[in-house]
Amino acid sequence: MTQQASSNQQWQESVLSSFLDMVRAPDGDFATLDRLIRAVSDRDSFELMVERLSRHPQAKVAFANRPRLGDLDLVQLQQLPANTLGHAYAEHMLNNRLKPLQAQAVESDFHFLSAHITETHDIWHVVTGCNTNILGEIQLEAFYVAQLEVSRFWLSLLAKNLLKAVVYDIEVSTNYMDAIAQGWIMGKQAKPLFGIPWNTLWQTPLSEVRESLNIAF
């Protein structure tokens, strides 16, 4: 066996081990989730994702400028008119007792890709209308897979949920598949969300944001 083949096999074993740990872990086990993220974050797939995303002018500009959300004042955003994206986002965060996710400083396109997705995750929830329960998360995972195309991480989360249904609760499988189908179709029909400068859209009516992105329920 060549050194490259041996290295690939070790990586595959690491991914499989982390994936099975995630299947066994209870929902909300972020330590296990972090191990899965590290296992599937290989350079080759990140390079492919950056290359695919950069074909769209919006993402190309984002990779060049690397915009960040920064510190968000949810109380201030909540004071915006009720029909705006900013108000809907603040309501989503406060009602679910969530804090804006912030990633570390970015030094490369790979870091920005991860940071941008992390910081905007709950904005995607609001814009797509995906709930924060298990079905809503599965629907959004399928949306991510459709939009990002070659993300090992989001695909592994979908696969994890399906395997959990096989092992622990087969009766939820139809609901899971419905959520996947809905998220996948929505993601394929929508314009790309990656790279949108969300800070410029807080005062825009949510309905207009959705319409501009071709997101329909």
- Tell me the pLDDT tens digit for each residue of 162-171: 999 999 999 9
Is 192 in a helix, a strand, or coil? coil
Residue with tokens 């004042």: 73
Q: Which of 72, 155, 85, 151 is nearest to 114 (CA)?
A: 151
- Tell me the pLDDT tens digit for each residue of 10-40: 888 988 999 899 999 988 788 888 888 888 8
Tell me whether residue 3 is exposed, middle or buried, using C-beta atoms within 10 angstroms of its C-beta: 0 to 12, 13 to 18, 19 or more.
Answer: exposed
Q: Which of 60, 104, 84 is nearest to 195 (CA)?
A: 60
CB of 173 closer than 8 Å to CB of 165: yes
Burial 153-171 (b: 16+ CB within 10 A, else e): bbbbbbebbbebbeeeeee
> Mean pLDDT across the stretch 148-158?
88
Q: What is the largest CA-CA distance in the chain?
A: 63
Q: pLDDT category, 211, cuts 50, 70, 90?
A: very high
Residue 21: per-residue pLDDT: 92
- Taking the C-alpha atoms of residue 68 and residue 185, their distance in angstroms, rounded to an integer, is 28
Tell me whether residue 31 is exposed, middle or buried, using C-beta atoms within 10 angstroms of its C-beta: 0 to 12, 13 to 18, 19 or more.
Answer: exposed
